[in-house]
Amino acid sequence: MRFTPFSIMAMALLAGGCQQATPPKAAAPAAKEQKTPDEPPIAGMEGEDPGASKLLATAAPRAIKPTYIQSTDIPSGTLRGVCRFQSSPSPREKKLPPPKETDISAIKDPQPEESAYYKNCRLVEPLWIQALEHAFVPTNVAVMVKGIGAGKAPAMPRSSFLVERGFLKQGTDKGHAPNNVHFGQSGERLQWGSYDPFTCEMTLANASTQKIIFEGKLNAYGSKEGFQEGPGKYKVPDLLQSPPLHEEGMYRVACKRHPWHKAAFFVVGNPYVAISQPHHQFAGSVFSIEGLPAGKHTLEVFHAEFEPVEKTIEFEIKKDEITDLAIQFKTPQLLK
């Protein structure tokens, strides 16, 4: 089993959370509080948890303003979906154009050896299409169920993006595959970490107003500020954090220094979200959302490159049953 730095930090926090301090004896005088030197505030954490260690403050998933309550007593079922284009040629008859190389010359104020580092990463622009046996299908389709205030699923942990080998991806992803969409629960913060040896200047903007609501420096891994001691002396990235994000909707994640670092980030009110992945058996890009409360719901569909035929879909969940949905996308020009 491969442990990521984020999973290692989580295990350490869980282990420490089970210890309880021994209460003082009634006859013993109260110990005089030891004043420690002031430490610089953690980005995005000013005024919060002043006694916590930096590792705890940056890694602990804590809902700040809950918009969703977990309840195991609610009757629920499962939503299962498959995403396809309205029409698609056979991959045996049509070949996709090769992906374009990422323009690394657009780096802002490149540092020594920075261009060479990213050139060796062999970065390309993703097509977000995958060829299955009989058809091409869209990848990384984001779906969100709207308006659920309580359900069986646990609340979402704090979300993160990770920069690694030139890619911007979800902090929990394995490998070096990019991922251009992520979710976070309302009231939580977004955080970034990096394993790359060069500084990033991350921004978070409201997609509707284009207003930048947060920007900060993401330290290079290996620099004095770029990592900290984790459990077992493991070097974990120093994390940059946004303020709590209360307004639901879509945000844009970007880097001022590396223009190809960009993603969509959705602040949602509940954990009933998913990102589709290609599946040969179902001849499409599939997702599954379990523990949905029984009743009628609305599903929102998003893709960064392709247009869904319906951006919102009504569906109904019945207790202990599976509801199947077929989501269609307009055929893009490169498949015609």
CB atoms near residue 33 (< 10 Å): 6
| SS3 (DSSP) at 143 | strand
Predicted local confidence at residue 225, as pLDDT: 61
Domain presence at residue 96: no
* pLDDT reported for residue 127: 87
- Taking the model in full, what pTM does it have? 0.78
- Give every residue of the chain whose pLDDT is below 50, as ranges: 1-64, 175-176
Please report the pLDDT score of residue 287 as a whole number.
96
User: What's the rounded Cα separation, in Å, for the pair 164 and 5?
Assistant: 13
Q: Residue 298 is inside which H or E element, if any? A: strand 295-302
Distance CA(322)–CA(84), nearest Å, equals 20
Is 319 found in the same domain as 232?
no
Same domain, 161 and 81: no
> Are 175 and 222 part of one and the same domain?
yes
Which secondary structure element, helix H or strand E, spans residue 286, and what is its range?
strand 284-293
Q: What is the pLDDT of residue 81?
A: 97
Query: So what's the pLDDT on residue 231?
Result: 57
CA distance 126 to 261: 12
Is residue 118 assigned to a domain?
no
Choose among 202, 295, 205, 186: nearest CA to 244: 186
Instruction: Give pairs for 275-280: CB < 8 Å, separation 24+.
Output: 275/140, 275/141, 275/142, 275/143, 275/179, 275/181, 276/81, 276/83, 276/138, 276/139, 276/140, 276/141, 276/142, 276/143, 277/139, 278/130, 278/132, 278/137, 278/139, 279/82, 280/132, 280/133
- Looking at the fold, whether 168 and 209 belong to one and the same domain comes out as yes
Residue 48: its pLDDT value, please? 37
The closest of 45, 47, 69, 50 to 244, measured between CA atoms, is 45
Choose one of 224, 244, 269: the last residue of a domain. Answer: 269
Same domain, 164 and 211: yes
How confident is the model at residue 15, as a pLDDT? 39
Does a structural domain hold residue 103? no
- Minimal CA–CA distance to 333: which of 87, 64, 8? 87
CATH of the domain at 67: 2.60.40.10
Q: Where among 242, 269, 296 does a domain terminate?
A: 269
Helices (H), ranges, the chain: 5-17, 54-59, 114-120
Are 140 and 277 within one domain? yes
Spatial strand order in the sheet of 262-268? 181-185, 262-268, 249-255, 200-206, 212-218
End-of-domain residue from the set 219, 241, 269: 269
Say if residue 71 is in the same domain as residue 208.
Answer: no
Domain that residue 241 falls in:
156-269
Cα–Cα distance for residue pair 262/182, rounded to 1 Å: 11
Q: Do 242 and 300 fall into the same domain?
A: no
Statement to judge: residues 167 and 265 lie in one domain: yes
Q: How many structural domains is the chain composed of? A: 2
Task: Evaluate whether 267 touches 186 at the Cβ level (below 8 Å).
Answer: yes
Q: What is the pLDDT of residue 85?
A: 97
Q: What is the pLDDT of residue 24?
A: 40
The CATH number covering residue 179 comes to 2.60.40.420
Length of the chain measured in residues: 336
Classify residue 222 as exposed, middle or buried by CB count within 10 Å of its CB (0-12, 13-18, 19+). Answer: middle
189, part of any domain: yes
Residues 275 and 295 placed together within one structural domain of the fold = yes
User: E strands, 49-94, where?
Assistant: 69-70, 76-85
